[in-house]
């Protein structure tokens, strides 16, 4: 308790903290950073900065650009591929999603939990049925205004939902985006009751989405299956799409080993 100087000092191992802080800093600088900039930004002495940077370079996490700025290196790219590979759905699940896309004539999505976070495990789209926005395999944001996100949030208990919202906020992306936390909690009750979630123009104008929970052996929600289409199209065949995602969710659960 003697040195409580920094504002939000993580209780972790200091050198590890600093190492990760450097990675984060370099990652959020489009053109990388110089040693001096890092040293200043993290309040480290130049010597220490260089030592940490040297270590990061040895592991190929950082590299020096021609203009002697530090930029992200090959190991980061490899880790990025690794995390996506870890998240990616199994071939069986992907097959189910393709079937859903064909049945719904709309792109289909599978999302799963990853720790407390939510990740997109597969997108089944095609030239005829383009995906919404820039939704790729990887961690997902904006859970509060997506159909799959509502399914996933509905699974969380009060405490962990609060934690999630505190960490991720609830930004509005369209005029219909829900940002009021109380209203969201009510919606989630409805989701829990119906075992289905929808979203109309909350995430992107003119688009709508519907999602159903994937249940594990224990009965707990382990993921969500969803399809997206235009708001107009959705209005005319919501019931069909609902059946498609419910059926898809069941098939994905059957295709999931063990869980």
Partner DNA sequence: AGGACGATTCTCACGATGTGCGAAACACAT
Partner DNA sequence: ATGTGTTTCGCACATCGTGAGAATCGTCCT
Q: Which residues of the chain form contacts with DNA (CB under 7 A)? A: 3, 13-18, 34-36, 44-48, 50-52, 54, 68
| 16/34 Cα distance (integer angstroms) | 20
Query: Rounded to the nearest whole angstrom, what is the least distance from the CB of residue 214 to DNA in the complex?
Result: 21
Is residue 25 part of the contact set for a second copy (CB under 8 A)? no
Tell me which residue of 36, 37, 74, 40 sits closest to 57, measured CA to CA: 74
Closer by beta carbon to DNA, 55 or else 98: 55
Tell me which residue of 57, 63, 105, 112 sits closest to 84, measured CA to CA: 112
Query: Rounded to the nearest whole angstrom, what is the least distance from the CB of residue 83 to a second copy in the complex?
Result: 4
Q: Which does 235 bind (CB under 5 to 8 A by kind): a second copy, DNA, none?
A: none
Are 72 and 62 a contacting pair, CB within 8 Å?
Answer: yes
Site size with a second copy, rule: CB under 8 A:
58
Is residue 50 part of the contact set for a second copy (CB under 8 A)? no
Where are the strands (E) in 83-220, listed by range?
108-114, 117-124, 138-139, 197-200, 207-215
Binding marks (x or -) toward a second copy, 203..222, rule CB under 8 A?
-------------------x
Tell me which residue of 117, 95, 111 sits closest to 225, measured CA to CA: 111
Longest dimension (CA), the chain: 66
- Residues 73-102 touching a second copy, rule: CB under 8 A, are 73-86
Where are the strands (E) in the chain, listed by range?
62-64, 70-72, 108-114, 117-124, 138-139, 197-200, 207-215, 221-230
Residues in a beta bridge with 230: 207
Closer by beta carbon to DNA, 48 or else 128: 48
Is residue 240 part of the contact set for a second copy (CB under 8 A)? no
* Residues in touch with a second copy (CB under 8 A): 10-21, 23-24, 27-28, 30-32, 51-52, 54-56, 58-59, 61, 63-66, 71-86, 113-117, 119, 127, 138-139, 222, 259
């Amino acid at each position: 308790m003697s040195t409580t100087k920094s504002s939000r000092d993580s209780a972790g191992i200091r050198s590890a903290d600093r190492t990760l802080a450097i990675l984060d800093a370099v990652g959020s600088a489009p053109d990388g950073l110089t040693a001096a900039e890092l040293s200043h930004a993290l309040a480290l002495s130049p010597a220490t900065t260089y030592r940490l940077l040297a270590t990061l370079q040895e592991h190929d996490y950082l590299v020096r650009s021609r203009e002697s700025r530090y930029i992200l290196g090959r190991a980061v790219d490899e880790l990025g591929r690794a995390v996506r590979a870890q998240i990616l759905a199994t071939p069986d699940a992907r097959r189910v999603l393709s079937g859903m896309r064909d049945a719904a004539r709309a792109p289909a999505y599978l999302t799963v939990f990853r720790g407390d976070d939510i990740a997109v495990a597969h997108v089944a789209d095609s030239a005829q049925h383009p995906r919404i926005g820039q939704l790729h395999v990887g961690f997902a944001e904006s859970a509060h205004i997506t159909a799959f996100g509502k399914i996933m949030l509905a699974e969380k208990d009060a405490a962990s939902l609060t934690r999630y919202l505190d960490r991720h906020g609830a930004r509005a992306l369209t005029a219909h985006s829900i940002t009021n936390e109380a209203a969201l909690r009510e919606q989630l009750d409805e989701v829990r009751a119906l075992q289905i979630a929808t979203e109309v123009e909350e995430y992107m104008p003119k688009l709508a989405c519907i999602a159903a929970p994937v249940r594990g052996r224990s009965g707990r929600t382990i993921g969500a299956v969803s399809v997206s289409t235009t708001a107009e199209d959705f209005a005319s065949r919501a019931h069909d799409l609902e059946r498609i995602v419910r059926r898809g969710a069941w098939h994905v659960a059957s295709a999931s080993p063990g869980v």
